[in-house]
């Protein structure tokens, strides 16, 4: 090869190209022996707990949490993400009147990442977000990792409450502005009668 710049360039590219895949394989091996078993065990535990508690009791807990705005946009999204994980968590919206479903979705989808700080199984496909947030703290101050995780989780709860209330308010404005009050009145009546999905006519 000698001093041939073309050959040196090709050699450098080949070395670093395969190095990229070697590093990716190392990271993957770390996941297989680290986070993946944790996620599998946590998912299994959550499904087992839900089965032991019983679907009916879980349903009652979710319906209770949906009664008031403060629990509808904090406890309800938390339980949905914890028990069903992303993306099945959004199906808990069926227990709410139609007018509250957009706000519930907004608060739940906004909680996808904060919950991974303490419960990584809830959104395992995007655990890299929390890993990126916490990477610097793990290197600079590993003893503060737990504190960061708790604060990240708590701030997430505050943010989803704000988003839920704001979206509920905006939904109310749009219902009035669009002249849909009668339609949503029928939805509310259907919900009161136990038809939790509302009516379409």
Q: Structure tokens of 103?
A: 């706000």
pLDDT at 196: 63
pLDDT at 149: 92
Q: Which residue has the higher pLDDT, 172 or 18?
A: 172
Q: Which residue has the higher pLDDT, 195 or 170?
A: 170
* Mean pLDDT, range 1-13, rounded to an integer: 69
Cα 60 to chain centroid distance, Å, stands at 22
* Mean pLDDT, range 44-59, rounded to an integer: 73
49-72 exposure pattern, b = at least 16 Cβ within 10 A, e = fewer: eeeeeeeeebeeebeebbeeeebb
Most confident segment among 33-42, 86-95, 175-184 = 175-184
Q: Which residue has the higher pLDDT, 123 or 49?
A: 123
Q: Which residues contact 24 (CB under 8 A, 6 or more apart)?
A: none
pLDDT tens digits, one per residue of 159-173: 999 999 999 999 999
Distance CA 165, CA 2 (A): 69
Indicate whether 188 pLDDT > 80: yes
Do 102 and 167 form a contact (C-beta atoms < 8 A)? yes
Indicate whether 35 pLDDT > 70: no
Indicate whether 101 pLDDT > 80: yes
Q: Which residue has the higher pLDDT, 201 or 52?
A: 52
Q: Which residue has the higher pLDDT, 109 or 125?
A: 109
Most confident segment among 37-41, 92-96, 158-162 = 158-162
In the chain, what is the greatest distance between 2 CA atoms, to the nearest angstrom?
85
- Place 28 in a pLDDT band, splitting at 50, 70 and 90: low
* Mean pLDDT, range 174-192, rounded to an integer: 89
């Amino acid at each position: 090869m000698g001093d041939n710049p073309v050959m040196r360039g090709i050699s450098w590219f080949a070395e670093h190209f395969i190095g990229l895949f070697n590093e990716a394989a190392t990271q993957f091996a770390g996941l297989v022996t680290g986070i993946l078993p944790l996620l599998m065990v946590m998912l299994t535990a959550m499904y087992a707990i839900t089965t032991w508690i019983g679907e009916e009791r879980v349903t009652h807990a979710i319906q209770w949490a949906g009664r008031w705005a403060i629990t509808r946009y904090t406890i309800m999204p938390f339980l949905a993400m914890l028990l069903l994980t992303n993306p099945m968590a959004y199906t808990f919206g069926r227990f709410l009147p139609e007018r509250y479903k957009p706000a519930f979705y907004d608060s739940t989808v906004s909680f996808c990442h904060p919950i991974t700080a303490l419960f990584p199984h809830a959104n395992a496909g995007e655990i890299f977000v929390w890993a990126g947030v916490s990477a610097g703290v793990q290197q600079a101050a590993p003893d503060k990792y737990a504190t960061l995780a708790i604060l990240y989780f708590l701030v997430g709860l505050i943010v989803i409450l704000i988003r839920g209330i704001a979206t509920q308010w905006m939904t109310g404005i749009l219902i009035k502005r669009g002249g849909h009050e009668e339609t949503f009145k029928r939805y509310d009546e259907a919900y009161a009668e136990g038809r939790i999905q509302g009516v379409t006519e």
